[in-house]
């Protein structure tokens, strides 16, 4: 799925994409986390803001993911909070 998301994002103008990733109820394996981080790094120049919901990763792991991605990823407790953040100017 990370590859498919990357294809959609990289087809957009640079700096224009707002990403909402809802992981509620999902368990993220180490392999999946590495694939997500790799895709996030590859599409970095296309993304304006990123919001994640339902992610329960240890803080150190989350920071490492952001380091690999090369951009800030914001975590939210609800979709509503995430959408509010993504639609702010």
Q: Are 64 and 38 in contact (CB under 8 A)?
A: no
Task: Give the CATH fold of the 2-87 domain.
Answer: Rossmann fold (3.40.50)
How open is the CA angle 45-47-48, to the nearest 5 degrees? 115
> What are the helix and strand counts (H, E) for the chain?
4, 3
pLDDT for res 14? 97
Convert the pLDDT of each residue in 41-77 to its tens digit. Answer: 999 999 999 999 998 888 888 899 999 989 899 999 9
| CA–CA distance, 89 with 69 (Å, rounded to integer) | 23
pLDDT for res 36? 87
To which H or E segment does residue 19 belong? strand 17-22
Convert the pLDDT of each residue in 23-49 to its tens digit. Answer: 998 888 888 888 888 888 999 999 999
Q: Are 40 and 50 in contact (CB under 8 A)?
A: yes
pLDDT for res 83? 97
Q: Are 65 and 72 in contact (CB under 8 A)?
A: no
Residue 81 pLDDT level (bands cut at 50, 70, 90): very high
């Amino acid at each position: 799925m990370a590859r498919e998301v990357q294809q959609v994002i990289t087809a957009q103008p640079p700096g224009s994409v707002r990403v909402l990733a809802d992981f509620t109820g999902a368990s993220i394996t180490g392999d999946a986390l590495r694939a997500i981080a790799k895709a996030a790094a590859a599409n970095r120049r296309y993304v304006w803001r990123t919001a994640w919901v339902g992610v329960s990763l240890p803080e150190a792991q989350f920071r490492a993911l952001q380091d690999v991605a090369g951009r800030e990823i914001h975590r939210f407790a609800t979709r509503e909070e995430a959408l509010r953040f993504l639609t702010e100017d």
